[in-house]
Amino acid sequence: MPEEPTVGLVLGSKEPRERKARSQSEVAKRRAKRTDKPRIKDIAEQLGVSVATVSRALNDKPGVADDLRRRVIEMAAELDFTPNMAARSLNGARTGAVAFVVHQHGIPVANDQFYFVMLRAVERALSKHGYHVMIATVGERADGRNEELRLVSERRVDGVILAGPDINSSLALSAIQHGLPVVLVDNALERTPSDSVVCDNRDGARAAVEHLLFHGHERIAFVGGPTTWLSTRERRAGYEDAMREAGLETMVIHEEATTVTTGMAAGRKLVGVPHTLLPPSAVFAVNDAMALGVMRAAREAGCRVPGDLAVVGFDDIDMAEISDPPLTTVRIAKELMGELAARQLLELIHTERQLPVKSVVATTLVVRMSCGCAAK
């Protein structure tokens, strides 16, 4: 069981009123003198005690009189002292918290039909070991790198799960360099050994395309996201494997994101342009959101799905089953991936394991109506 955070404020102190009533101007003067973050040394100097005494008081260690402990805590609050979690970690202390980090997608994490399922599985697994999960989102800077997280740089957590192919490698490397246990989910670093949990993207994509080939389709398009994303690259590779073995030409479109909106944009390029001589008869989309967007674009262009255009997605989110028509897709075991990520992170936190582990979870083709099966 990880230790509970040991720094806090003592309530209900019985200090004499005059000692508690330090003037606001006196506190302001102390703060004004400082231009950087207060340190334990500053608290020690203010009170005329040793650094070791302040450290023991703030970490609830024995050997400090109650009266002095209260004064230390009060001074820490007045100086806006924030404990250095990196130093605490070096001393063997743990925070009892783990961060689950996803990229900002414009919707609350709770509404994300993919990563929220993983998050719940992570929470269930870690709560059994006394950990609570902090949810954090990151955006991108102008140079395309993810924003730095203070909870990482200040080691406010015992470990980090980075979920999604749109988490830039710079953030993962930063966490690793700060000495934090890190597990990537639905992503992996190309050159730096690290723990990761992914699904079998390539085999799942290949199975989806082979299913369309079985239906007799020869003009099958691939609709994907950024080529920098691991899932896009691997699923495109599976698509190309199947098309190459069938001796067929590929038709590939990449968009800047993998949303319903970008799926619609890709769909319009494929079926909504009058001068297109040979539009595809089928589309394999890198995820369900894009597949749903393609179907919407097809309807706008007067195409029937699956009559004129068969569509297959990837992920098997909740919307896939209730779309019109229900979407044929590749199911990812999202809960299992979350459980594995939690298990690997706990192992990194509590053991000296050095060899990175990459867990690859199998996928399953879920056949519904959008591919044309039920229509035949």
Contacts of 112 by beta carbon, 8 Å cutoff, 6+ apart? 102, 105
The token duo for 111 is 């509404």
**Phi–psi pair at 182, nearest 5 degrees:** -130, 135
Does residue 339 contact residue 117 with C-beta atoms inside 8 Å? no
Cα 17 to Cα 15: distance, rounded to the nearest angstrom? 6
Q: What pTM, to 2 d.p., does this model score? A: 0.74
Place of tokens 């830039």: 168
User: What is the end-to-end Cα distance of the chain in Å, rounded?
Assistant: 57
The closest of 154, 99, 168 to 131, measured between CA atoms, is: 99
pLDDT of residue 306: 96
Angle in degrees, CA 269, 274, 276, rounded to 5 = 60
β-strands 329-332, 363-366 pairing = antiparallel
Contacts of 118 by beta carbon, 8 Å cutoff, 6+ apart? 163, 185, 334, 335, 337, 338, 341
Cα 209 to Cα 211: distance, rounded to the nearest angstrom? 5
Does residue 360 contact residue 137 with C-beta atoms inside 8 Å? no
Contacts of 131 by beta carbon, 8 Å cutoff, 6+ apart? 2, 96, 97, 98, 158
pLDDT in tens, the chain (376 residues): 444 333 332 333 334 444 444 444 454 444 444 446 677 888 889 999 998 888 877 765 678 887 888 788 788 878 877 655 445 544 556 789 999 999 876 666 667 788 899 999 999 999 999 999 999 888 765 444 545 577 777 778 999 999 999 888 888 888 887 888 999 999 998 888 899 999 999 999 999 999 999 999 999 999 999 999 999 999 999 999 999 999 999 999 999 999 999 999 999 999 866 555 688 999 999 999 999 999 999 999 999 999 999 999 999 999 999 999 999 999 999 999 999 999 999 999 999 888 999 999 999 999 999 999 864 4
